[in-house]
Amino acid sequence: MDIERIWLRRWRNLLILCGMTLALLQLFRAFHGERTTWITNDGDWYYAYCASLYLDHDLDLSNQFNVWAAQTGETAPDIHPGRPTPTAFTIGAALLWMPAFAIGDAATLIAGRLGANAPRDGYSMAYQLSVALATLLYGLLGVWFALKAAVWWMEKRGRGWPPAPGVAALTALCASPAVYYFFFEPTMSHGPGILATSLLVWMWLHARADSPWPRWLAMGAVGGLAALIRPQDSLLLILPLSAAAAGGRRRMVGRWLATGLASALVFLPQMVIWRQTHGRPLVIPQGPGYLNLWNPHPLQVWFSYHHGLFTWTPIWLVALLGLGLIARKSPGRAAAMLVVFLLESYINSCTRDWWAGDAYGSRRFLSLFPVFVLGLSAFAGELGKRRPRSVLAVYAAAVAGNLGLMFLYVTGRIAHG
């Protein structure tokens, strides 16, 4: 077994240990204190989709929000009952949470039979905890695929510092908003989103213009899933489309059609829902004026103290330097990733709330988690051959800074919103 495979096995075991630790901490939160909830911010809408689909087999969210309002003491949103509820949110995360929600439902039924006060309303502790653990699992699987992508790149493009991919993946997890959304706000869509985009990037790296048709269909399906979770993540379909462009025109068009068709089929349920709730199959569900393509705020999105990408997560600057190193050996792939980054930046900067509302850091860029891992890995792989301690010091400082900032945010010493 070569040295990269040995390191991959080591990092896999460390990632499993990390997941088990975070899962145990979630269990501790569940049984510590009078009341613990994992439903926060926009997560109440994503979660309500899951509860409604499973328990009621519909998309009328009025009863879900009535239950939640009764538990929290807040006022339920004004929702017209008896028909699908128009929302600004998609159903992808809810569909991925469904198996975990079913486990929570079974646990609730068993607890009720044993005499516990566990109403089968979709919001008791077993349901919420199951969904929280599912997000943690999906998120860590996303980190794993990003790590595998970085290991493959090192093997393919020449040996570098062997620990580089694992150091990069764990740094990206612990020095970015990812760990926060895996643990503190698991009913947001970022954990499942990282899984979909990381899987897509890993598949894209293995793709060639002459790859068989099933690979293009699979990449399209995963891209459709990413869009079903977070529509802006459809931009990552640029990556497989760029790989198809390396072949002849006839082959390129066929690959593009296969990828696009598979993506559209997976995204079709959301279009059907939008047709019922908004009157059109493709729509900006947040409403008119939410996205103004003629009024971008790129510098604010990158450098503002109000959740700026590089202000809150400066290690991403190092990741961009790493993309420059990738460009020396594979300019096409580096260019495709840079285009996706710039388009994501542009779209995020054109939204009405370019700071992403009540958010920890620039959460909307978590879609690019696997791209940042590749950049961090390339940087560490190159510099680590000569100065491994310097790499570890920089990456450890980024982790320490993020964890300290996260502590201040969680404890309310930094204002939310």
pLDDT exceeds cutoff 70 at 396: yes
Q: Per-residue pLDDT tens for 45-91?
A: 999 999 999 999 999 999 999 999 998 888 889 898 989 999 999 99
- b vs e for 374-393, b when ≥16 Cβ sit within 10 Å of the residue's Cβ? bbbbbbbbbbbeeebeebee
H helices of 34-187, where? 43-51, 62-72, 92-113, 125-156, 164-174, 178-183
Collapsed DSSP state (helix, strand, coil) of residue 112: helix
pLDDT score recorded for residue 3: 60
Average pLDDT score, the chain: 93
Q: Residues of the chain with pLDDT > 90: what percent?
A: 79
Per-residue pLDDT at 4 = 65
Show me where the domains of the chain are located.
3-410
Q: What angle do CA 371, 216, 280 make, to 5 degrees?
A: 85
Is 51 strand, coil or helix? helix
Identify the pLDDT of residue 29.
86
Q: Give the integer Cα–Cα distance in Å for 13 and 171.
A: 16
Q: 23-32, 186-195, 322-331 — which one is most confidently predicted on average? A: 186-195
The type of residue at 403 is L
Would the pLDDT of 1 be above 50?
Answer: no
Q: What is the pLDDT of residue 149?
A: 95
pLDDT bin (cut points 50, 70, 90) of residue 246 is: confident
Give per-residue pLDDT as tens, 103-117: 999 999 999 899 888
CB burial readout 325-341, b (16+ within 10 A) else e: bbbeeeeebbebbbebb
Contact in structure between 136 and 23 (CB atoms under 8 Å): yes
> What pTM, to 2 d.p., does this model score?
0.95
Q: Which tens digits make up the pLDDT trace of 271-328? A: 999 999 999 999 999 988 899 999 999 999 999 999 999 999 999 999 999 999 999 9
Question: d(Cα 95, Cα 229) in Å, to the nearest integer?
Answer: 9
What pLDDT does 193 receive? 98
Residue at 277: amino acid letter: T
pLDDT in tens, 114-136: 988 889 999 999 999 999 999 99
Query: Which ranges of 292-358 does DSSP label H, i.e. alpha helix?
Result: 298-303, 309-312, 315-329, 331-349
Q: How confident is the model at residue 43 (pLDDT cuts 50, 70, 90)?
A: very high
Q: What angle do CA 1, 206, 176 make, to 5 degrees?
A: 85
Residue 2's pLDDT band, with cuts at 50, 70 and 90, is: low
| CA atoms of 133 and 126, how far apart (whole Å) | 11
Label residue 157 by pLDDT band (50, 70, 90).
confident
Nearest to 128 by CA among 76, 185, 65: 185
